[in-house]
Homo-oligomer: A and B are copies of this chain.
Amino acid sequence: MFIGIDLGGTNIAVGLVDNTPSVIAQASRPTNAKRPYQEIIRDMAELCKEVTENAGYTMADIQGIGVGSPGTIDSTNGEIVYANNLDWHHVPLVKELKTYYPDIPMAVENDANAAAYGEYIVNGDNTESFLAITLGTGVGGGIVLDKKIYRGFNGAGGEIGHFTLVHNGEYCTCGKKGCWEAYASVTALIRQTEAAIKANPDSLMRKKAEENGSVSGRTAFEAAKEGDAAAQQVVDTYLEYVADGISSVINIFQPNVLVIGGGISREGDYMLKPIQQYIDKYTYCKDIPQTQLKIATLFNDAGIIGAALASAM
């Protein structure tokens, strides 16, 4: 039995993870990020006990505790080097959490890396090279090579969403211009949908957005499925951005498996098929085995499961 902790700017979510691996119990508290880090970590420790005992276990049953945190992580020293949305600099997270449970193995990972590791455990077929990308507010990613999370020499590696896809293109949150994230994230899809509604005021997308109260990542997909041509154009263009980025990282890594996650990936084959067609067309060398594309299966649990299992990596 393992514990995974998803430390976010808004909430601390703690899950008890069995060997399936599945989250069998969960609890959360607000982060209240402005508190001293010692108080936040005390809440984490209390949540661990709570979630374990509520499920009928004791802390003696816990084989590892893993934390997924935003920001740049020094996993070797168990330290959060810098996390923007917590305003944490050089917080010795593992050392502090060890004061509560000194005998339990612990790990801290970047949250995107933890989620990628979770998908690897479940969908990576125990392979030597694996990529996960998450199409969400941004485009997150994680690289698992030789069954270990790849972090680069400074802990900041694996930012798959921040290579340039459109030189001198849209501004990205990272400060660069034209990153893949600025075209393939849900945020970007919403921007693309809004522009298409403005240019096509009669589009079904407008009605969908009004019903929903706002434009979302689903607006264009829903309208396209009902035959709206402008929406289909938005979906086609968006998926081409996604596919062009995926073919790019495949050319660099040639991983055994690449998993696509995030809310958009719930579209399943409706998104996977055109992406696969694009990759098949533009793949660098056709005479050799090709990367297997898969849709993520853990979704919201990936972070907790990945963090939990990273404590045993």
Chain A residues within CB distance 8 Å of chain B: 72, 81-82, 89, 127-129, 143, 145-146, 150-160, 162-167, 169, 174-176, 183, 241, 244-245, 247-249, 251-256, 282, 284-285, 287-291
Contacts and interface: CB of A to CB of B under 8 A. Distances in A.
Interface SS majority for chain A:
loop
Given A162-B284, A183-B167, A284-B174, A152 B244 contact: no
Given A157-B129, A288-B82, A162 B251 contact: yes
Contacts of A150: 145
26 contacts: A72-B287, A72-B288, A82-B288, A128-B153, A145-B145, A146-B146, A151-B254, A152-B255, A154-B288, A155-B254, A156-B254, A156-B284, A157-B252, A158-B254, A162-B251, A162-B284, A163-B252, A164-B165, A164-B244, A164-B247, A167-B169, A167-B183, A167-B241, A174-B284, A175-B282, A176-B284
A166 B163 contact: no
A96 B60 CA distance: 59
B247 A153 contact: no
B145 A254 contact: no
A282 B155 CA distance: 18
